[in-house]
Structure 1
Amino acid sequence: MNPVEEVALPSKAAFDEQVRQAYRPVVIRGMARDWPLVRLGRTDPAEALRYCASFDSGAAADIMLAPPTEGGRFFYRNDMTGFNFERRKGTLGQLAGELARLDGQDDAPGMYAGAADLHDHLPGFASDHPLPLAEEQDGSQARIWMGNATQVATHFDLSDNFAVVAVGARQFRLFPPDVTKHLYIGPLDVTPAGQPVSMVNPLEPDLKRYPDYEKAEAQALYAELEPGDAIYVPTLWWHHVAATSPINILVNYWHNNSERGGPFLALIHALMSVRDLPAGQREGWRAWFDHFIFGEGAGSAADHLPAHINRITGPPSEERSETMRRFIVQVLSAR
């Protein structure tokens, strides 16, 4: 595997013009080295847990629990009749106390809370832990992940993502979107934590069952992050994340332009309405999609129309987005 490119902390303008346009992950070492939580975590992870608990609002979060036999992997059962973990409700303060109690225990269950909204669960934390480059992005949402040695199955995010390791260490294995067909994707609608996942365990790949995974692995990127390090993961890049310390805390920031709607929903609708058409009709629709969506000239495909009538196929605008939403709702409501 090749390493993820490492860059110096860029300005927002440089990030938008260079990093985002390149559409590849980057690592920024020491981006959050001055955070109070990072400083605590380097010397005393248990004290870092107590520090987080001091912000606890008392709001309940989803806490995932997997038996020790699963080795910290949160996934499906072997027979695909459910998941190999259970969800319980608890506060992040309660979770912090349990993680401190389990620290050093050989047969500890896998345990984590993921994507807990910082403002809801740890009010006041964000103001003491600024990350301007991430917070300046459109629609930025700060969330916290807290757990022990666990791994999250290979998945993608619908938003761009900044992830900052605050306590412990994490290993990232990333795959570009064009290897999706080699990752053996699981169900699109029944998922461990929201997004579809790869059925392959990259730490122990079963190449007899998933032989084409080797083609994905050949294009994989790898990074190991220490406290204070950050990684930028573009939307749709697949990533497997393993937290390798007994106590791990990560803060991430998802951000994207919500006005663009949901491409994943468009995919689901295309599965229902396009994929199973006769071959000739599918090719016909391929021509439409190429002309209006994927072709090089898609943005100007309707420039021959007067501007006042070129609404849906015209340039992006708030008015166009609202027109599209009304049109979609009207058509679906008539079914």
Structure 2
Amino acid sequence: MAGYRKIPEFNDLSAGQFFEQIAPEQKPVVIRGFARHWPLVTAAQQSPEDWVRYLLQFYQGQKARILLAPPEANKRFYYNGDMTGVNYLAGDERVDLFLGRLLELMDRSVYPAISLQNGAPENLLPGLVEDNPTPFFPDVTPRLWVGNEGIVSAHYDGADNMACVVAGRRRFVLFPPAQTGNLYPGPLNFTPAGAPTSLVDLNNPDFERYPRFETALANAYSAELGSGDAIFIPMLWWHHVESLEKVNALMNYWWNGSSAKAATPPSPIDSLNIALLAMRDLSQEQRNAWRHLFDHYLFKQGVDPASYIPEHQQHVLGPISPDYARAIKDHFVEKLKR
């Protein structure tokens, strides 16, 4: 899009190249044709009806969480006017009925935005993932997002994300983590869709109320993806997502950033919440002092502490076995009960 920076694109990229060269840089890239050979994508390129028929061959009667935003929401799943709630309804619905409703709304001129969000395909459509495999993520279970035209405001994920469009078209606008303060993030623990969300309407920004957003826009990236294309969104990169057609779907993979393995708790967002709880009453000078310790031990801005502490005394600074990780978690569970 005009005014936005262009995200680098690749047409052919192996899993080895991606994890060795691209992912460590933590910069977004578009991979055209990432899933072009999937039957899921082939069906979508034929027609919405063919795509729905393909999905239903895996359906066994399960229900999914469905969101519905009325026409006056302008396709945006967001807070209500005074931030006491959200502007959409949510409930459980049979997947086959939801897909039928999606097709029915295609011919309407006025219609709600409906969305199946963050569905587990192994539960909702058993066999779908096995029929559409990728060598990039053999051990990561993907999530499924299906709907008509809709808007999800800028938010971030606590894990690396490969988002693959499997039906329709989607537009992504990305902001680097350094723009966080210019995006006016909303509450950490009350969000429209589970992740902290920018309070600025990208398509109708109020620059008087949110003047720093102009700086964010000057540092934004954008790309439009078609069926079969994928985008790598590094962790903590803000992303505004718009579904551009009346039948849209996306399958995404979240992983822990160091390898193609699923992220495990606790997440970095969990640690942020705990840090806020632990340090909320400290003075600014005290917080500045703690910043130096975080820089040394966690962000390793100077000498790596593991480089001079004997290996047998590194504990959390060194390699951690599954048993030791469990012991650490149990320790903090007990501390947080007090």
Q: TM-score, normalised by structure 1?
A: 0.93
Q: Is the 8 A contact 1:54 1:93 kept in 2?
A: no
Q: Distance in 1 between matches of 2:144 and 2:263?
A: 21
Q: Is the 8 A contact 1:186 1:197 kept in 2?
A: yes
Q: Distance in 2 between matches of 1:41 and 1:12?
A: 25
| Residue 160 to residue 209, structure 1, CA distance change in 2 (3 Å) | same
**1:6 paired to 2:9:** yes
Q: Report the counterpart of residue 69 of structure 2 in structure 1.
A: 66
2:283 to 278, 281, 287: 278
Q: Report the counterpart of residue 326 of structure 1 in structure 2.
A: 330
> Aligned partner of 2:268: which letter?
P
Q: Is the 8 A contact 1:260 1:321 kept in 2?
A: no
**1:104 paired to 2:124:** no
Q: Distance in 2 between matches of 1:250 and 1:258?
A: 19
Q: Distance in 1 between matches of 2:265 and 2:292?
A: 22
Structure 1 position 108, deviation (Å):
0.9
SS in 2 for 1:312: helix
Q: Distance in 2 between matches of 1:258 and 1:232?
A: 16
Q: Mapping of 1:44-59 within 5 angstroms? A: 44-59=47-62
Q: Mapping of 1:156-305 within 5 angstroms? A: 156-256=156-256, 258=263, 261-297=266-302, 300-301=304-305, 303-305=307-309
Q: Distance in 1 between matches of 2:111 and 2:56?
A: 21
> Aligned partner of 1:179: which letter?
Q
Q: Report the counterpart of residue 155 of structure 1 in structure 2.
A: 155
Q: Distance in 2 between matches of 1:232 and 1:114?
A: 19
Q: Is the 8 A contact 1:152 1:240 kept in 2?
A: yes
Structure 1 position 317, deviation (Å):
4.0
Unaligned runs of 5+ in 1: none
For each residue in 1:74-133, what CA deviation from the matched residue of structure 2 results, as whole angstroms up to 9, or x when unmatched? 000111111000102112211100011111201111101011111000111112212221
Structure 1 position 14, deviation (Å):
1.3
| Residue 84 to residue 269, structure 1, CA distance change in 2 (3 Å) | same
Q: Report the counterpart of residue 38 of structure 2 in structure 1.
A: 35
Q: Distance in 1 between matches of 2:285 and 2:167?
A: 55
2:117 to 101, 114, 119: 114
> Aligned partner of 2:141: which letter?
Q
For each residue in 1:166-211, what CA deviation from the matched residue of structure 2 results, as whole angstroms up to 9, or x when unmatched? 1111000011111000000111101111111111111221111111
| Residue 302 to residue 2, structure 1, CA distance change in 2 (3 Å) | closer
SS in 1 for 2:59: coil
Q: How many residues align?
A: 330
**1:308 paired to 2:312:** yes
SS in 2 for 1:326: helix
Q: Is the 8 A contact 1:50 1:97 kept in 2?
A: no
RMSD: 1.8
Q: Is the 8 A contact 1:56 1:121 kept in 2?
A: yes
SS in 2 for 1:132: coil
Pick which of 311-320 and 274-283 moved more. 311-320
| Residue 281 to residue 173, structure 1, CA distance change in 2 (3 Å) | same
Q: Report the counterpart of residue 20 of structure 2 in structure 1.
A: 17
| Residue 70 to residue 200, structure 1, CA distance change in 2 (3 Å) | same
Q: TM-score, normalised by structure 2?
A: 0.92
| Residue 59 to residue 260, structure 1, CA distance change in 2 (3 Å) | closer
Unaligned runs of 5+ in 2: 257-261
Q: Is the 8 A contact 1:312 1:323 kept in 2?
A: no
| Residue 102 to residue 326, structure 1, CA distance change in 2 (3 Å) | same
